[in-house]
């Protein structure tokens, strides 16, 4: 008999920030329009994941109050087109005094985000959509979610005061930012 895995739709808002560590000087890449000065920096994503919204089926499985943290690199062209890739974890943060310790719910080796990229051109989204990022993640469950895996698309909008070359880019609009996909319960 085949394995009987189960799937659950997730749909969670988030808000948070991307923090970039300043790096070396820009270097040339490509030619034509792509001939933009380019940099590569260390970066961290820190997002607070909100409670479930319309279509989410994970309320009883995945608690509120989780945070996503990712460490990686961002490649940035001077025109704002950028690509982040890194490893991530989704955790329940402990109290301010450090007790109880954080609990890991998911972790993964790859979270990717493409900035100033729109994939819905047939729906009038610009292919170089300003303030728009899209990406994905795949994670393995841990702790209370050890029998699960997570695959999700990420869509985000950052504030107008972003600066990829140093400092922090904020993603404040949880009415737009989404982590949406599926939880798979493995038999």
Token readout for 89 is: 């974890």
pTM of the predicted structure, to 2 decimals = 0.86
Tens of pLDDT along 11-61?
999 999 999 888 888 888 877 766 778 889 999 999 999 999 999 999 888
Q: Report the sign of the C-alpha dihedral through residues 69, 108, 26, 116, in that order.
A: negative
pLDDT in tens, 94-152: 766 667 788 999 999 999 999 877 655 444 455 555 777 899 999 999 999 999 999 99
Q: What pLDDT does residue 77 have?
A: 84
Q: In this predicted structure, what is the pLDDT of residue 29?
A: 86
Q: For residue 78, what pLDDT is reported?
A: 81
Q: Which two tokens stand for residue 171?
A: 């993603």
Across 170-178, average pLDDT: 87
Q: Hey, what are 181's tokens?
A: 């996909």
Reply yes or no: is the peptide bond before residue 100 cis, omega within 30 of 0.
Answer: yes
Calculate the alpha carbon distances from 170 to 3, 9, 173, 174 in Å: 42, 27, 9, 11
């Amino acid at each position: 008999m085949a394995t009987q895995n189960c799937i659950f739709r997730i749909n969670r808002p988030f808000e948070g920030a991307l923090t970039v560590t300043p790096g070396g000087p820009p270097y040339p890449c490509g030619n034509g329009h792509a001939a933009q000065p380019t940099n590569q920096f260390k970066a961290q994503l820190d997002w607070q994941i909100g409670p479930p919204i319309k279509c989410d089926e994970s309320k009883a499985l995945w608690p509120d109050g989780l945070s996503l943290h990712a460490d990686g690199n961002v490649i940035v062209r001077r025109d704002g087109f950028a690509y982040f890739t890194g490893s991530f974890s989704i955790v329940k943060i402990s109290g301010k005094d450090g007790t109880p310790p954080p609990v890991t719910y998911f972790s993964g080796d790859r979270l990717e985000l493409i900035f100033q990229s729109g994939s819905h051109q047939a729906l009038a989204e610009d292919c170089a959509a300003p303030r728009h990022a899209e990406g994905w993640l795949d994670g393995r469950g841990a702790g209370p979610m050890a029998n699960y895996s997570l695959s999700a698309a990420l869509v985000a909008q950052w504030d107008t005061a972003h600066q990829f070359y140093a400092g922090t880019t904020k993603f404040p609009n949880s009415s737009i930012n989404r982590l949406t996909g599926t939880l798979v319960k493995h038999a």
